[in-house]
Chains A and B, each alone.
Chain A
Amino acid sequence: MTSPTAGVHERKTTIEEGTHLKGSLVSKCAVEVKGRIEGDVTAPALFVAASGAVHGRVKVGEIRSQGELSGEFDANVVQLSGAVRDNTVIRAKSLEVKLAPPEGKTQVVFGECSLEVGVEPTQLDAQSRAPAVRALGARPPTDANGS
């Protein structure tokens, strides 16, 4: 799949292993983290290597992480392996976590965290509509007169 930000991805801001960055990072190109960031990140894409860690508030188009995440992450597309620490919220339109082989290492270790993924289904099929709407805390569907 061609990423809409493919052109931007050609140039990367890299936080090398052993580098610890504290503070906000705003970049027009993708950010690759092999070291550690503590703070806010705004960029088209964030790639976190197995040795990398990002702790803070992140707003990006795409996240691909094999490292450690904690904080608040907003992205369109997220691919996760590695670890998600406590008190983390991940909001995304699409999330992918692959199933690890049964004898293998767990693909992602989740701490206490929240995942908000995908757009609310607007049209549930007849079988599921009523219970789903109730459970999501919305008003029940109304008829044409609003009753």
Chain B
Amino acid sequence: MPELTAEVVLEKLTTGEKIDSSDLRGLVLSQAVLEGASFRRCDLDGANLEGARLARTLFKNASLREAFLVGADLREANLESADLEGANLQGARLAGANLNRANLEGANLQGADLSGARLTHALLESAQLGGARLVAAQLGHALLADADLTTADLDDADLGNADLRGANLDEASLARAQLRDALLEGAIVTRADLSGADLRRAVLKGARLEGTTLTGARVHGLVGTGNPSDGIVAEWVDDAADDAVPLRVSGADALALFAGRSAPAGPSNKRYFGRGDVLRNAHLEFEPGAAIEIDSLFEHCTIALGAATELCVGKGGVLSGCQIVGPGTIAIHGKFIEHESPGISGATQLVVSSGGSLVAAIRQPPEATRFAFEPGCFLRIKIQRAETARTTGAESPRSMRSGGQP
């Protein structure tokens, strides 16, 4: 028998009296309006809260084992460290709720809305999350082993370091999800959408990936399935270790990564110019697809890039009085100072990282350059459009430097 009846609970809450730590086992409060109330440390095992309005309600450290919460409104409720083992939360609204360290082992969350909910370190082993909405939910370090996540929407969710061993993610959507260091051994990920997901150092050993979309996924350090990668959809993946410069791997090489074969060590036609080297008055042409890294001093050199060529000016690299032409991608972590305008012409992508310096006019190709500038970079640049640059002969950026210079 519960310590308090439903009527007494409602009366106490209406008058503002505290009921924290009360024994409320098996209490029937279905459809009750209890928004913002506090059930902190209460024992609500087996309680019936079906359809109850519990938005912003405090259940911190409460016990709700086997509780019946079907269709309950628990938006932004605080269920931190609550025990919900075996609870029925089918169709419950839990958007923005705090479920950090909650025990949801074997709980039924089918069709529940957990968008933006915080579930870090939550125990969700064997939980039923089929069709649940978990967009942008925070599930870092959560235990989801053997959980049913079929058709669940996990777009932009954070599952870093989560344990998903043996979980069923068939037809789940995990676009742009964070799965860094996640364990997916033996998981069923068939027909799931993981496009743009971050799978760096994730373990996929024995996972099933038939019909899975992985285009644009980040895969550096990933441990593959060990099985043939038939049926995987991955036009390209990003094998870069960090965020600075993407390292695209496509075709069979990309698929091989998921199978667990050793990752290709970037393009085979890689060139490196080391620190301390000096190159003057040279004309360099690089074939399409080449990857060039410069940590040297280049003076008055012309560099012609082929299509999809990657040029990286490393932190120690200085390109002084140089010119880069052609449809490659350029990342500047060091320094680039032009001699003739435009210093850079036709680049499809130009990234200047924090600590990078760029003093140049940049002529974009007709389809426009994709720019990225990190806070902390130094820029004195004049951007030109392809069509006008050809006809007007735009002015060098030196003219705009004159104000601050001796």
User: Is A108 touching B338 in the complex (CB atoms < 8 A)?
Assistant: no
Q: Min CB distance, B190 to chain A, in Å?
A: 24
B320 within 8 A of A: yes
User: Is A99 touching B351 in the complex (CB atoms < 8 A)?
Assistant: yes
The CA-CA distance from A64 to B353 in the complex, in Å, is 19
Q: Give chain B residues whose Cβ lies under 8 Å from the Cβ of A103.
A: 216
B368 within 8 A of A: yes
User: Is A139 touching B406 in the complex (CB atoms < 8 A)?
Assistant: yes
User: Is A107 touching B372 in the complex (CB atoms < 8 A)?
Assistant: yes
User: Is B404 touching A120 in the complex (CB atoms < 8 A)?
Assistant: yes
- Supposing A118-B379, A121-B378 touch, asked if A112 and B373 sit within 8 A by C-beta, the answer is no
The CA-CA distance from A96 to B369 in the complex, in Å, is 16
User: Is A112 touching B383 in the complex (CB atoms < 8 A)?
Assistant: yes
The CA-CA distance from A1 to B321 in the complex, in Å, is 38
A7 within 8 A of B: no
Closest to B394 in A: A112
The CA-CA distance from A138 to B357 in the complex, in Å, is 17
Q: Give chain A residues whose Cβ lies under 8 Å from the Cβ of B400.
A: 89, 114, 116
- Supposing A101-B216, A127-B318 touch, asked if A132 and B335 sit within 8 A by C-beta, the answer is yes
Q: Give chain A residues whose Cβ lies under 8 Å from the Cβ of B299.
A: 131
- Supposing A112-B384, A112-B388, A116-B379 touch, asked if A137 and B401 sit within 8 A by C-beta, the answer is yes
User: Is B401 touching A128 in the complex (CB atoms < 8 A)?
Assistant: no
B375 within 8 A of A: yes
A113 within 8 A of B: yes
Q: In chain B between 295 and 309, which residues have their CB closer than 8 angstroms to a CB of chain A?
A: 297, 299
Q: Min CB distance, B350 to chain A, in Å?
A: 10
B380 within 8 A of A: yes
The CA-CA distance from A110 to B388 in the complex, in Å, is 13
The CA-CA distance from A89 to B299 in the complex, in Å, is 29
Please pick, from B297, B388, B394, B401, the residue contacting A131 in the complex, using a CB distance under 8 A. B297
Q: Min CB distance, A133 to chain B, in Å?
A: 10
Q: How large is the interface on B (under 10, 10 to 19, 20 to 34, 35 or more residues)?
A: 35 or more
User: Is A116 touching B380 in the complex (CB atoms < 8 A)?
Assistant: yes
User: Is B357 touching A121 in the complex (CB atoms < 8 A)?
Assistant: yes
User: Is A114 touching B216 in the complex (CB atoms < 8 A)?
Assistant: no
The CA-CA distance from A92 to B380 in the complex, in Å, is 11
Q: Mark B338-374, 1 if CB is under 8 A from A, else 0.
A: 1100000000010100000101000010001111111
Q: Give chain B residues whose Cβ lies under 8 Å from the Cβ of A109.
A: 368
Please pick, from B339, B377, B384, B405, the residue contacting A137 in the complex, using a CB distance under 8 A. B405
B264 within 8 A of A: no
User: Is A136 touching B337 in the complex (CB atoms < 8 A)?
Assistant: yes
A135 within 8 A of B: yes
Please pick, from A89, A99, A110, A121, the residue contacting B364 in the complex, using a CB distance under 8 A. A110
A115 within 8 A of B: yes
Please pick, from A106, A111, A121, A136, the residue contacting B405 in the complex, using a CB distance under 8 A. A136
Please pick, from A112, A127, A135, the residue contacting B339 in the complex, using a CB distance under 8 A. A135
The CA-CA distance from A113 to B321 in the complex, in Å, is 22
Please pick, from A106, A116, A131, the residue contacting B370 in the complex, using a CB distance under 8 A. A106
Closest to A103 in B: B216
Q: Give chain B residues whose Cβ lies under 8 Å from the Cβ of A135.
A: 320-321, 337-339, 359
User: Is A94 touching B337 in the complex (CB atoms < 8 A)?
Assistant: no
Q: Min CB distance, A43 to chain B, in Å?
A: 21
The CA-CA distance from A119 to B338 in the complex, in Å, is 18
User: Is A138 touching B405 in the complex (CB atoms < 8 A)?
Assistant: yes
B402 within 8 A of A: yes
User: Is A97 touching B372 in the complex (CB atoms < 8 A)?
Assistant: yes
User: Is B373 touching A117 in the complex (CB atoms < 8 A)?
Assistant: yes
The CA-CA distance from A131 to B402 in the complex, in Å, is 17
The CA-CA distance from A137 to B398 in the complex, in Å, is 8
User: Is B371 touching A95 in the complex (CB atoms < 8 A)?
Assistant: no
The CA-CA distance from A107 to B373 in the complex, in Å, is 11
B316 within 8 A of A: yes
The CA-CA distance from A112 to B384 in the complex, in Å, is 5
Please pick, from A77, A118, A120, the residue contacting B377 in the complex, using a CB distance under 8 A. A118
B251 within 8 A of A: no
Can you identify 30 A-B contacts, CB atoms within 8 angstroms?
A77-B375, A89-B400, A96-B373, A97-B373, A98-B372, A99-B349, A99-B351, A99-B372, A102-B216, A102-B246, A103-B216, A107-B371, A110-B368, A112-B384, A113-B383, A114-B381, A114-B382, A114-B397, A115-B380, A116-B380, A118-B376, A124-B335, A127-B316, A128-B334, A128-B335, A131-B321, A132-B318, A132-B357, A134-B320, A135-B359
Known: A116-B400, A118-B379. 6 other contacts (CB 8 A): A99-B372, A106-B368, A112-B384, A112-B388, A119-B378, A128-B318
Name A residues whose Cβ lies closer than 8 Å to a Cβ of B. 77, 86, 89, 94-103, 106-121, 124, 127-128, 131-132, 134-139
Name B residues whose Cβ lies closer than 8 Å to a Cβ of A. 196, 216, 246, 248, 275, 297, 299, 316, 318, 320-321, 334-335, 337-339, 349, 351, 357, 359, 364, 368-385, 388, 394, 397-398, 400-402, 404-406
Q: State the 5 A-B residue pairs at the shortest beta-carbon distance, nearest first.
A: A131-B320, A99-B372, A118-B378, A135-B337, A117-B379
